[in-house]
């Protein structure tokens, strides 16, 4: 596997092999081997509840644990220490069948104690939609997050060949294809949990 350089990212974007929409500041957002993505204006955070645990098999349980909120332009979402929230990128991305992508946090955010993904930084070939950000504050101070601020970066890697069944393929369980907002976990749709 090889990581695309800024030159190749620009080429793939121009040829329509990769789509990042809107890419409003081409020169500022494209880095030497990645593209900076911005945070969207919708967030999901966990409610304080009295239930003893989250049951991933309960079809009505997962969404009941989270509140959605829309942040107006110029306003901020405050993430407190030890809090976890979901958001999406402002941009919609489309990955071809012969590339994979990874979302990494920006070092400027990391230096504030903010992580942009807990485990789901990997984007399958064929994915199309906004990328869910799993944001945590591991620092000691609350941090303001502003919609439209550059929060993470996407890195593209070539594969040895096109995927036979890319994300979104009819035979694949692509639970988050085409997402446009932060989505709660859809783990209840996993085949092994449906059998239990």
Task: List, by residue number, the catalytic residues.
Answer: 134
Question: Binding residue per annotation — 132?
Answer: yes
109 is in an annotated binding site: yes
Does the annotation place 124 within a ligand binding site?
A: yes
Q: Which residues contact 69 (CB under 8 A, 6 or more apart)?
A: 42, 43, 44, 45, 77
Instruction: Say if residue 189 carries a ligand binding annotation.
Output: no
- Where does residue 10 fall: left (phi above 0), alpha (psi -120 to 50 degrees), or beta otherwise? alpha
Flag whether 73 is marked binding: no
184 is in an annotated binding site: no
Query: Is 108 marked as a binding-site residue?
Result: yes
> 14 phi and psi, to 5 degrees?
-60, -40
Distances (CA, A) of 124 to 24, 91, 147: 24, 17, 25
Q: How far apart are CA 134 and CA 108, in angstroms?
A: 17
Q: Any binding-site annotation on 134?
A: yes
Give CA–CA dist 182/42, Å, rounded.
7
Going by the annotation, the residues of the binding site for dCTP are 106-111, 124, 132-134, 153, 167, 175, 179
Binding residues: 106-111, 124, 132-134, 153, 167, 175, 179
């Amino acid at each position: 596997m090889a990581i695309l350089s800024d030159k190749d990212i620009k080429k793939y974007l121009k040829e329509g092999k990769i789509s990042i929409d809107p890419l409003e500041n081409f020169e500022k957002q494209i880095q030497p081997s990645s593209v900076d993505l911005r945070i969207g204006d919708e967030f999901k955070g966990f409610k304080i509840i009295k239930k003893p645990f989250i049951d991933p098999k309960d079809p009505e349980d997962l969404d009941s644990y989270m509140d959605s909120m829309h942040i107006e332009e110029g306003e901020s979402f405050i993430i407190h220490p030890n809090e976890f929230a979901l958001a999406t990128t402002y941009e919609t991305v489309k990955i071809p069948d012969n590339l994979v992508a990874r979302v990494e946090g920006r070092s400027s955010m990391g230096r504030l104690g903010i992580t942009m993904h807990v485990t789901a930084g990997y984007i399958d070939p064929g994915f199309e939609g906004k990328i869910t950000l799993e944001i945590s504050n591991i620092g000691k101070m609350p941090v303001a997050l502003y919609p439209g601020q550059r929060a993470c970066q996407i890195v593209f890697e070539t594969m040895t060949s096109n995927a036979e069944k890319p994300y979104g393929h009819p035979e694949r369980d692509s639970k988050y294809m085409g997402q446009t907002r932060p989505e709660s976990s859809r783990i209840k749709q996993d085949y092994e949990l449906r059998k239990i």
